[in-house]
Structure 1
Amino acid sequence: MSTEAPESPAPAAPEPPVRPRRRRARPLMASVVALAVLLFAAVGGIGWYFAGVAIEVDHSAEYPLSIVDAADGTVTLPREPETERPGEWALVWKDGRALLGPIVGGDEDRVVRKVSSVVSGSLVKGAPAAIDHWMYDGDPERALGLPFESITYPSQVGPMPAWLVPGSTLHGTWVIAVHGRNADKAETLRAMRSVHEMGLPMLSIAYRNDVGAPSSGDRKNHLGDTEWHDVISAMGYARAHGATGVVLYGWSMGGAMAMTALRKDPSFVRGIVLDSPVLDWSATLDKQGDARNLPGFMTDVAKRVLEWRIGIDLTDYDQRRYAPRLRRPVLLYTARDDETVANGPAYTFARKAPPGMVTHISTLGGHTESWNVDPAAYERALKAFLKRVS
């Protein structure tokens, strides 16, 4: 037996020291998260701002033009699309108003228009001014020489002011006029003479958040989603004072309100007149987002924020969904150059309605300017419609 001790195994080669891995993933992940948070905050902030613009109550006036000269019954203005259009327009400035006549001169930079009358104030060279498609201001008597009564009708938020221009009798069909967003009753004056000549009473209403009217609880514009209640209240006033039915007449957002009131209380409505109406808020907000160069996804965020802020369901204001079930005649005016409201839904609404139910008149001009570009044609269509439904 061997007495030699077994050889010790050769020592293993030393392993290289284990170096800790650099923790790159966590800083990278943190950066991604931070960037996502910043992006979300930016998109959310833009959405919040855009939604805020849509629901802001703003009755301030802007005067983007400057009067170049005024003499010998004319006024000289910078040549802009709004100053060179034919038709019936007013020129307004801080303390005055003039009704404009036709173009009588000018050059490539300026346009000279006849002044039909100076309603108030004085035309002064250099004064800031604006073209006003409402034409008239004040009340029905001062603007048009029409007798009227200032009344209040009860509403959910308090006594609401309105003008009542009497017809040949208070017993019969009334016209309830509903102005647009951030406008006031003066927007309805252009239609008032035609309605009066038809012998129909016209109730031109203020609604919540108007100047001189009660405010909503949040002092926000709800795009007609709460304001339509005031239209229903005005219908109740008309019913209580002799009306046997009403024609609802809405401009812009007032059109959205009129259509909602029709759906809520159709039995008392004889017909609807819509002038540049909002027949789909979602499409209109898309149009306004495009005008502000917002990417589509940001406009979508803004719409979701808006729905959350004022509790509105925008899909409920796509009137195309209800067109096939329309059972009341509609007179629809759209302006081809409308830069405020999307026109496409109005064309689709007219197409989807039962045959003969919608009389659609497409005109030149911009938002709610169908009357201005051709008052005679506008009023002929209006009178024919009122005769049909009253």
Structure 2
Amino acid sequence: MIRRDPVNLSPAVSRTAQQGARNFHLPAFTAELSSRIVEWRTGVDPNRLSLIRHPPKIRPPLLLIHTVPDTEHPIQESRDLVAAGRRLGWNIQFEPFAQGDHTEAWNVDRARYDRLVRDFLAPAQTVLQRPRSSRKARPAARDRWAGSRPAGASTASGSIR
């Protein structure tokens, strides 16, 4: 599954059936078979889930945290994503952790992990903490939807005025 989070921990950058077959010591033919079953059952081609081969059109800044000894998703996947990101002008802050397995960065160095996430999200927090008067004015939800129904049309909670 492709995640759209600004912070990504030990990501499945190029989750492939081939990699899964290797991780679980299955015969190679099971990889293609499982991909076809997934596509048949979900309508999603698993090969399209690679962030490297199919990067998202909108690429917000990304904090990528990955442990070096990760056996489930080798760190090379993240290094490859960072290289692809550079070519695309995608702002990816890559932070490898020397110890820990898959998703264990917080467990091995909580202070560093917390500092990285806090510092990365600080600009967004600053925007959210600005006084409402300095934010761009947005119409109230009621006003935004008023034009989508005929005047006087009723809703579950009453009529729109």
Q: Residue 385 in 1 paired to residue 116 in 2?
A: no
User: Which runs of structure 2 are paired with 1:249-268 in the superposition (5 Å)?
Assistant: 256-258=2-4
- Distance change in 2, residues 1:356/1:287 (3 Å): closer
Structure-1 separation of matches of 2:68 and 2:32: 26
User: Which runs of structure 2 are paired with 1:263-274 in the superposition (5 Å)?
Assistant: 272-274=6-8
The residue type equivalent to 2:12 in the other structure is V
1:291 equivalent in structure 2? 23
User: Which gives a bigger RCO, structure 1 or 2 (Cα 8 Å, sep 6+)?
Assistant: 2
1:312 equivalent in structure 2? 44
Q: Residue 280 in 1 paired to residue 43 in 2?
A: no
Q: Could you report, residue by residue, the CA deviation over 1:305-324 in whole angstroms, capped at 9, with x for unpaired residues? A: 22212222112211113448
CA contact (8 A) 1:330 1:359 kept: yes
Gaps of 5+ in 1: 1-223, 225-255, 260-271
| C-alpha RMSD over aligned residues | 2.3
- Distance change in 2, residues 1:310/1:343 (3 Å): farther
Normalized per residue, the structure richer in helix is: 2
What displacement does 1:344 show? 3.1
What percent identity do the matched residue pairs reach?
Answer: 26
Structure-2 separation of matches of 1:337 and 1:299: 24
Larger radius of gyration: 1
Structure-1 separation of matches of 2:35 and 2:56: 26
Tell me the SS of whatever aligns to 1:293: coil
CA contact (8 A) 1:323 1:349 kept: no
Q: Could you report, residue by residue, the CA deviation over 1:347-366 in whole angstroms, capped at 9, with x for unpaired residues? A: 21111114571100111211
The residue type equivalent to 1:359 in the other structure is Q
Structure-2 separation of matches of 1:322 and 1:350: 14
Tell me the SS of whatever aligns to 2:7: strand
CA contact (8 A) 2:18 2:31 kept: yes
- Distance change in 2, residues 1:325/1:305 (3 Å): closer
User: Which runs of structure 2 are paired with 1:100-115 in the superposition (5 Å)?
Assistant: none
- Distance change in 2, residues 1:326/1:348 (3 Å): farther
What displacement does 1:304 show? 1.6
CA contact (8 A) 2:38 2:45 kept: no
1:360 equivalent in structure 2? 94
Structure-2 separation of matches of 1:292 and 1:339: 11
Structure-2 separation of matches of 1:379 and 1:389: 16
Tell me the SS of whatever aligns to 2:3: helix
Q: TM-score, normalised by structure 1?
A: 0.29
What displacement does 1:334 show? 0.9
Structure-2 separation of matches of 1:281 and 1:291: 11
Q: Could you report, residue by residue, the CA deviation over 1:161-214 in whole angstroms, capped at 9, with x for unpaired residues? A: xxxxxxxxxxxxxxxxxxxxxxxxxxxxxxxxxxxxxxxxxxxxxxxxxxxxxx
What displacement does 1:327 show? 3.6
Structure-1 separation of matches of 2:24 and 2:120: 38
1:142 equivalent in structure 2? none
Q: Residue 337 in 1 paired to residue 105 in 2?
A: no
Tell me the SS of whatever aligns to 2:52: helix
Structure-2 separation of matches of 1:324 and 1:317: 10
Structure-2 separation of matches of 1:360 and 1:327: 15
Structure-2 separation of matches of 1:301 and 1:347: 28
2:110 to 358, 361, 375: 375
2:79 to 347, 369, 376: 347
Structure-2 separation of matches of 1:338 and 1:319: 18
What displacement does 1:258 show? 2.1
- Distance change in 2, residues 1:279/1:273 (3 Å): same
Structure-2 separation of matches of 1:324 and 1:258: 9
Q: TM-score, normalised by structure 2?
A: 0.65
Normalized per residue, the structure richer in strand is: 1
Gaps of 5+ in 2: 126-161
Aligned length, in residue pairs: 122
- Distance change in 2, residues 1:288/1:305 (3 Å): same
Tell me the SS of whatever aligns to 1:348: helix
